[in-house]
Structure 1
């Protein structure tokens, strides 16, 4: 065998080392040691690989032929969004620590509806610290007890680390990944849970107040409102991850479909409440029959979600969008054409809810940015809707009370008129009787005189 120069082996080793380093040269590196109190969105630092067959493993995506297929260069944004897809997505994130000490950071993915998340961080011995969690996994699998997915990341001094995440979703694929300084994250988490508590406080107050009105007035419209509030709260809790944390932490299949089914039930409750509040059966009977049909369809929609969420979630989302437009159109018609007072409150209230819902939907299909408002659109919209509908019910109660007072006053006036009329009749009758009596007395006196003569 011909002798190979030693320089050839040195050159080959250096070439392989250079190639292994340049594999991630296109990835934008984030120096996590410079992170201060403000969080950093990781969208522009992520390299993404789509896995249509959902079959790739961590070892597969680290192979040279796969590493080159990762695509980076994303524009700065709050989230990556791919709409309704069945593919799994691998994310590659390169973090750097240029300081003289290890630093700890918190990686948050602020979208609780992601079905499956795998987090892989390299260790000193060459192995990986792997965490497998997601909406379809027990809540106990989460590395950090939070309604979102949070992972603690420790970076050694003067070192780079390449972190891999595998994400799959049964509904929409939205990945709002953020890196936090630990103390800043804990403050953010407290504020976030305070916002959720504020919402639940409003909902609880509306619920209890209208339950008391139901007991006091025996009017089933308050029962319909209470049902609507309960369905709305369950929809919001299912969508923001609190239901997974506190109500069904170990559920897999139900956690995946809970938000969709809760939304259908919420629309059903809203339609029933709307029919009663706006009196559609009398004012617009043909449209009222259509609303009854929609209620029946909404009650059947959960069957489709249970059978195959991936297959029906997109068409059903478009269907719910159309139903929202129809409800708004009906309330506007009753407001401007029928001049119904309650329709004013209902239209304004539902507009807030519909706006919040559509903002969330646009975010899901990647037509709206991901920020605090779009992430909590349903929460803000439903809170304003519940408040305004409660005001509408209070206004309805005032109108009913005012009508009752007017009816009593009118009844008193009518009674007084009848008393006057009766008194006049009695006076006239009395006068006639006196006249008759006087005539009789005169007749008797005449007869007596005639007898004396």
Structure 2
């Protein structure tokens, strides 16, 4: 090929490449132009519901906050997405723009809904003609009456003429997070959406009210302060969620927007404090995990400081530290629960599951608040869903606490055996079951020999140690289904379901020897035991059965103590048991 032909071929190739590049550039520029000038063509169908309408808007940042609506009409807007529309915390003013195109034969009435209500100032401008605007001014820093539609969210009616376009500008300004979360509805879909939400919120707050009523009634009944702390936590957090969802502003203080914003901070700090207090009580953190308990008190102190500072510090300056403190507080409460569970705390199991669900919901919502996740149903309501699960699971934790309290009310604190109350409940039950099922039942009644003189000689502290020694031996001796109880003072009982008289005699003698060998020297103690067997006497009731064993104990003391006597050996002819006179 000659040099001339090579040159011609090179030039042709260059021209083709240049043409391709030009076409590509035109396509790119056209694409950006379309994105920068978003036009949403209304569908022909009458019913419209576009949940994620923020995808169809353009965005413009106004760092100084000085641009007017006339200024932004000449500005260039950037394309939006769900992630880009969730700006997070910022000092800038943000503008959104969308063009609605109605190609139908009649005017369309639509509703543009801002589904994140915690925006301080939101101004909406509909362009009705060159330089002409229909303006809507609202936000949670303005009176509720300024809203076009009385609803917790910010809802704006938009009218698009037949065969025309309507340009809409939205101006966002807030000291908190700016979350541009827009939905577009026709009238029927908007009403249906309101109905579904009312049902969902009714279920949520109905559950909150039921938990409040339940915890208050239980607190009145048992007087356990853990239930009071739980009540305070559920009440303050439930009220906080009312503010967060815009319902408190709509129904409680529609003419007090400043209080609405201040109470948002106050309630979340009080809820955090109450949640930590509940955690410390239900997990017995001061006794079980004292170092972590100290850390929880420090977090409570920080919450109090931020609470007291909130009226004097700008909302924009304090809201981010508060959000981080809440997240840290939830993580710390989860740490408390895991530590307590590792140490064997029974309430800690439900507690850990509860705070894990709340932590997941909190993390999702906070990431959305800081602009790291887009605004969706899950990210917006994750905190609320997690909090409901958490409150229900915490009520199950309190149920475990109730079982513990019930156990404590039937347990002798010195010996950790059952107390007189438990014995009085269980003996009639076992007596009736044994008679109905024709199975053996034996009962031991025992006490420490010469205990009064032992106390006088060694002091009450040593006397308590002697009682503890007997209690320790009985806990080893009376494994389930046997039941050992401290009847009162130095007297104990053991219920032996399914144990016949011969076995009861062997067990009683083994117990007597065990306690005789427990303490040594001058501190040694002995016991006397009387027992009765259901198959060796005609007992009319559980009380008569107890009196028989008690009478056998009296005989054992008369025979010199430190021995075992059966009721049928004392009264071989089945004579009625005689009430005994106390012999120390």
Q: Which runs of 4+ in 1 moved over 4 A?
A: 22-25, 415-418
Per-residue Cα deviation, 1:323-353 (whole angstroms, up to 9, x for no partner)? 22222112111112x1111111111111111
| 2:324 paired residue among 313, 318, 327 | 318
Cα distance, 1:303 vs structure 2: 3.3
**What's the Cα RMSD here?**
2.2
Cα distance, 1:404 vs structure 2: 3.4
* Partner SS for 1:143: coil
User: Highest relative contact order (Cα 8 Å, sep 6+), 1 or 2?
Assistant: 1
* Cα distance change on mapping 1:187 and 1:78 into 2, 3 Å: farther
* Partner SS for 2:61: strand
| 2:348 paired residue among 343, 351, 359 | 343
Distance 2:197 2:287 in 1: 45
Counterpart position of 1:411: 486
Cα distance, 1:23 vs structure 2: 8.9
* Partner SS for 2:49: coil
Tell me whether 1:426 sits opposite 2:558 in the alignment.
Answer: yes
Q: TM-score w.r.t. structure 1 length?
A: 0.83
Cα distance, 1:37 vs structure 2: 4.4
Distance 1:305 1:274 in 2: 25
Tell me whether 1:85 sits opposite 2:90 in the alignment.
Answer: yes
Counterpart position of 2:339: 333
Distance 1:385 1:236 in 2: 14
* Partner SS for 1:234: helix
Per-residue Cα deviation, 1:108-148 (whole angstroms, up to 9, x for no partner)? 01001111100111236863211110011111111111111
Q: Which stretch has the larger CA shift, 319-328 or 113-122?
A: 319-328
The question of whether the paired residues in 1 share the 8 Å contact of 2:249 and 2:257 is answered with no
Cα distance, 1:179 vs structure 2: 0.8
The question of whether the paired residues in 2 share the 8 Å contact of 1:109 and 1:175 is answered with yes
Aligned residue pair count = 401
Q: Which stretch has the larger CA shift, 213-222 or 98-107?
A: 213-222
Counterpart position of 1:26: 36
Tell me whether 1:244 sits opposite 2:249 in the alignment.
Answer: yes
Per-residue Cα deviation, 1:190-216 (whole angstroms, up to 9, x for no partner)? 111211111110000010111111111
* Partner SS for 1:315: helix
The question of whether the paired residues in 2 share the 8 Å contact of 1:112 and 1:147 is answered with yes
Structure 1: runs of 5 or more not aligned: 1-21, 430-453
Per-residue Cα deviation, 1:271-316 (whole angstroms, up to 9, x for no partner)? 1111111001111222212222221211111234331121222233
- Decide which structure has greater helix share: 1
The question of whether the paired residues in 1 share the 8 Å contact of 2:35 and 2:58 is answered with no
Q: Which has the larger radius of gyration?
A: 2
The question of whether the paired residues in 1 share the 8 Å contact of 2:36 and 2:77 is answered with no
The question of whether the paired residues in 1 share the 8 Å contact of 2:86 and 2:373 is answered with no
Distance 1:303 1:398 in 2: 38
Distance 2:409 2:220 in 1: 19
* Cα distance change on mapping 1:50 and 1:124 into 2, 3 Å: closer
Distance 1:34 1:365 in 2: 38
Distance 2:151 2:492 in 1: 67
Structure 2: runs of 5 or more not aligned: 1-31, 411-417, 424-484, 495-528, 531-549, 562-584
| 1:299 paired residue among 295, 304, 314 | 304
| 2:294 paired residue among 275, 289, 297 | 289
Q: TM-score w.r.t. structure 2 length?
A: 0.65
* Partner SS for 1:331: helix
